[in-house]
Amino acid sequence: MNNTVWITRRFEIDLTEPKVMGIVNLTPDSFSDGGAYNAPDQALRHAEKLVREGAAMLDLGAESTRPGAPPVSLVQELARLEPVVKELVRWNVPLSIDTYKPEVMQAALSWGADVINDVWALRQPGGWEVLRAEPRAGVCLMHMHREPGSMQVQPMQGDVLAQVQTFFTQALAQAAQHGVQRQRIVLDPGIGFGKTVAQNLTLLREHAHLQGFGCPTLVGWSRKSTLGAVLAERVMHGQVPEPQDRVQASVAAALLSVERGARVVRVHDVAPTVQALALWSALQGH
């Protein structure tokens, strides 16, 4: 059975009911809403809107991890994050920081952030040491094939479910070696990170098979290109809809993931996702 409480720096988050994590992009080049909220005041207004709509936590990213995204310097990433994090920690809302740089992890935790959400799953040198030094910081360990610059040029081959399961086993072994308890960890199969459309759909269909690791799972289907590909093939007569036109499919993917065991859904569109999960919860008798 999965843990139902996620231990983070300031909060013990009850995952008996699934939680919605709202995305706050502080980048000019995010695939979905690049540049819309990268000024601190814009980001804070957007964060306030997401919380008002029902986001149980916020995920802040200051470097895009879309396919082919250029790297951002340490100085620039810290400058984008600092004013927003320092304000948001006053709001009493769990804060996740989407970064792979150990220096950013350490700074964000020192400012009061609660969770590190790392697409590299702490594989960059120094990442595990940061988490070991912060005995209550939460972490999301995500599977990514290759790296953002090339992951969709040469996507995975073979059995995606087996490879993700093996990766999770190895990541959790690393966590144990560094003294990071499983109660602090959630696992993310990394939808779209070096995977084909068929592989992403397999991970959705078989998400229940990712529930045997003693850790909750988090998924990020929101506005992803796989949804665009499905809609283009089955609805849009070959025309791929823009990311902002994939909201309904994103909500459906989040709901289907929760039905298969996901405990956290990372989304751009908080209000419709919260509404869909409210209906799902009512049907469960919760």
pLDDT of residue 70: 77
Would residue 220 be called left, alpha or beta, if left means φ above 0 and alpha means ψ between -120 and 50 degrees? beta
Catalytic residue numbers read: 224, 266
Q: Which residue has the tokens 């792979």?
A: 100
Closest of 65, 13, 11, 66 to residue 264, by C-alpha:
13
In sequence order, the β-bridge partners of residue 117 are 98, 140
Residue 21 identity: M
Separation of alpha carbons 123 and 127, rounded Å = 7
pLDDT of residue 220: 97
Helix%, strand%, coil% for the chain, nearest 5: 45, 15, 40
Taking the CA atoms of residue 246, residue 52, residue 93 and residue 58 in that order, the dihedral angle to the nearest 10 degrees is 10
pLDDT of residue 13: 98
Tokens of 109: 């935790």
Q: What is the pTM of this model?
A: 0.93
Separation of alpha carbons 87 and 70, rounded Å = 28
- Superfamily in which the 5-284 domain is placed by CATH: Dihydropteroate synthase-like (3.20.20.20)
Q: Which residue has the tokens 């269909």?
A: 205
Q: By CB neighbour count within 10 A (0-12 exposed, 13-18 middle, 19+ buried), where does 94 fall?
A: buried
Q: Are 19 and 13 in contact (CB under 8 A)?
A: yes
Crossing angle between the packed helical segments 40-53 and 74-88, to the nearest 10 degrees: 50
Tokens of 281: 């919860």
pLDDT averaged over the chain?
92
How many other C-beta atoms can be found within 10 angstroms of the C-beta atom of residue 183? 16
pLDDT of residue 31: 45
Domain boundaries, the chain: 5-284
Closest of 116, 15, 12 to residue 59, by C-alpha:
116
Q: Which residues of the chain have pLDDT under 50?
A: 1, 30-32
pLDDT of residue 148: 62
CA atoms within 13 A on the CB side of 165: 14
Separation of alpha carbons 53 and 270, rounded Å = 6
Separation of alpha carbons 118 and 141, rounded Å = 6
Query: pLDDT tens for residues 82-98?
Result: 999 999 999 999 999 99
pLDDT of residue 1: 42
Q: Are 68 and 148 in contact (CB under 8 A)?
A: yes
